């Protein structure tokens, strides 16, 4: 086994409201991250990235294969200029810049959540339980194959399939905590004559044909930077300048065409096994088109339950192409140019695997509400007791006042009787004399 070069832990200042890796890395965007010993691990750009997080920092380290012919990458100039790292961040091997690009940290997530909360009451209700969910800026090829695997599948099985692709067709990078890590295979690694059969044996089913056919098209019938040309120019791939420097041929006339989300979506639909949903997933998570809104069964349920789409019963349970476009356009209208980011928050909130997270926040809110009500009741009780005390005091004061007045009346009456008796006594004395 080749020796490994392991860098020490470094950190990026980053709050949990800007990024929560425990949610973002397991909500169905990337399927290669492994959670081992309270750390997240994945191969990115030829190195094993290890992550852990506290409320103030994202901690990271890189494990490089010592014998690899691929030296640590210098951060591309485009990344340095467009997304500067916080002052003092150690980045001698480009890993900090890679993470800045991968997690799309040039966007303020707090500002986006504020915008979506203001424009959508449903988002405002559900988002507090799911802060820190970002859309990953991933490798387009990996995203494409991963979401071909997602057809009629769940996150766990997709992860298993992607893991098998890496083990059987991707290069070995290193071992962390006793676990071997392989990189994702490039297109030409999946073009062999026996690939489809082998993938079927590994349990890929009908998806095996789609993967093999798409790999053949991308590797042999498209320019080598074809996926880069489909990418949002405002969200470049981290290693695009490196690939161009390494001599990959341009796509000539395609480079001159204007880049739009719709154009990228249509181009992806030409591939085997790629429908509207898969194309939107690739556009959003692999090509940087934030307005792309993938509509799967979860999002369709959300659209029907929370936004009143598809009224009319069983006839509308099937999502037609017209309805698919209508739902996407509606979400783009209320959420804006990063509609796909907002969709991912509601998508995550709708997953059964995150039900406890949602309910725990609801319980906290409920308990907090009950506590507030209890406090208000106590305050009201105290106020009422005070009022009653004042009232009783007033009553007592009134009684005392009345008693005093009565006593005074008695005194006056007694005085008058004494004076009357004295006058009568004086008169009798006068008469007798």
Over residues 43-87, the pLDDT tens digits come to 999 999 999 999 999 999 999 997 654 444 544 444 444 446 887
Of 220, 262, 277, 379, the catalytic one is 277
Would you state the pLDDT for residue 316?
A: 59
How many CB atoms are located within 10 Å of the residue 357 CB? 16
Backbone torsion region of residue 90, taken as left when φ is above 0, otherwise alpha when ψ lies between -120 and 50, otherwise beta: beta
CB 303 within 8 A of CB 325: no
Told to judge if 164 belongs to the known catalytic residues of this protein, a careful annotator would answer: no
DSSP 336: G
Instruction: Quote the tokens at residue 349.
Output: 């909130």
Would you state the pLDDT for residue 295?
A: 96
Would you state the pLDDT for residue 353?
A: 84
Give the residue, 398 or 120, on which the prediction is more confident: 120
The overall average pLDDT reported for the chain is 83
Calpha distance 243→225 (Å, rounded): 8
Q: What count of residues does the chain have?
A: 433
Would you state the pLDDT for residue 386?
A: 53
Would you state the pLDDT for residue 357?
A: 80
Give the residue, 422 or 10, on which the prediction is more confident: 10
pLDDT higher than threshold 70 for residue 412: no
CB 65 within 8 A of CB 174: yes
pLDDT higher than threshold 70 for residue 215: yes
Sign of CA dihedral 139, 145, 188, 248: negative
Q: Which of 190-204, 262-276, 351-365, 406-420 has the lowest mean pLDDT?
A: 406-420
Is this model's pTM higher than 0.95 or not? no
Calpha distance 180→34 (Å, rounded): 11
Q: Place 313 in a pLDDT band, splitting at 50, 70 and 90.
A: low
Helix, strand, or coil (residue 63): strand
Q: Place 89 in a pLDDT band, splitting at 50, 70 and 90.
A: confident
């Amino acid at each position: 086994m080749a020796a490994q070069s392991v860098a020490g832990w470094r950190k990026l200042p980053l709050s949990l409201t800007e990024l929560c890796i425990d949610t973002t890395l397991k909500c169905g965007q990337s399927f290669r991250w492994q959670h081992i010993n309270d750390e997240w691990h994945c191969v990115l750009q030829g190195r094993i990235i290890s992550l852990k997080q506290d409320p103030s920092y994202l901690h990271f380290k890189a494990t490089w294969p010592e014998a690899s012919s691929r030296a640590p990458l210098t951060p591309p100039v485009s990344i340095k200029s467009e997304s500067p790292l916080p002052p003092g961040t150690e980045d001698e091997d480009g890993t900090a810049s890679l993470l800045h690009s991968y997690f799309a940290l040039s966007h303020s997530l707090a500002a986006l959540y504020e915008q979506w909360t203001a424009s959508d009451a449903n988002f405002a209700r559900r988002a507090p339980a799911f802060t820190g969910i970002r859309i990953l800026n991933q490798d387009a090829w990996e995203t494409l194959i991963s979401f071909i695997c997602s057809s009629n599948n769940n996150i766990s099985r997709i992860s298993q399939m992607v893991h098998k692709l890496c083990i059987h067709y991707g290069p070995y990078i290193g071992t962390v905590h006793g676990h071997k890590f392989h990189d994702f295979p490039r297109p030409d690694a999946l073009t062999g004559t026996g690939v489809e059969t082998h993938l079927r044996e590994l349990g890929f089913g009908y998806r095996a044909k789609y993967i093999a056919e798409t790999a053949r098209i991308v590797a042999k019938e498209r320019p080598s930077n074809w996926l880069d040309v489909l990418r949002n120019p405002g969200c470049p791939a981290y290693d695009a300048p490196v690939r161009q420097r390494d001599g990959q041929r341009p796509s000539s006339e395609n480079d001159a065409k204007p880049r739009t989300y719709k154009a990228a979506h249509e181009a992806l639909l030409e591939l085997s096994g790629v429908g509207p949903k898969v194309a939107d997933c690739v556009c959003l998570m692999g090509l940087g088109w934030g307005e792309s809104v993938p509509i799967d069964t979860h999002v369709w349920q959300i659209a029907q339950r929370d936004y009143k789409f598809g009224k009319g019963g069983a006839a509308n349970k099937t999502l037609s192409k017209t309805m698919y476009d209508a739902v996407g356009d509606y979400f783009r209208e209320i959420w804006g140019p990063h509609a796909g980011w907002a969709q991912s928050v509601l998508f995550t909130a709708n997953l059964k695997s995150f039900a406890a997270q949602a309910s725990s926040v609801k319980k906290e809110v409920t308990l907090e509400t009950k506590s507030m009500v209890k406090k208000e009741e106590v305050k009201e009780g105290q106020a009422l007791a005070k009022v009653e005390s004042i009232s009783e005091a007033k009553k007592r004061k009134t009684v005392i006042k009345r008693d005093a007045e009565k006593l005074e009346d008695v005194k006056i009456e007694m005085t008058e009787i004494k004076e009357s008796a004295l006058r009568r006594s004086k008169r009798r004395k006068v008469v007798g004399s």
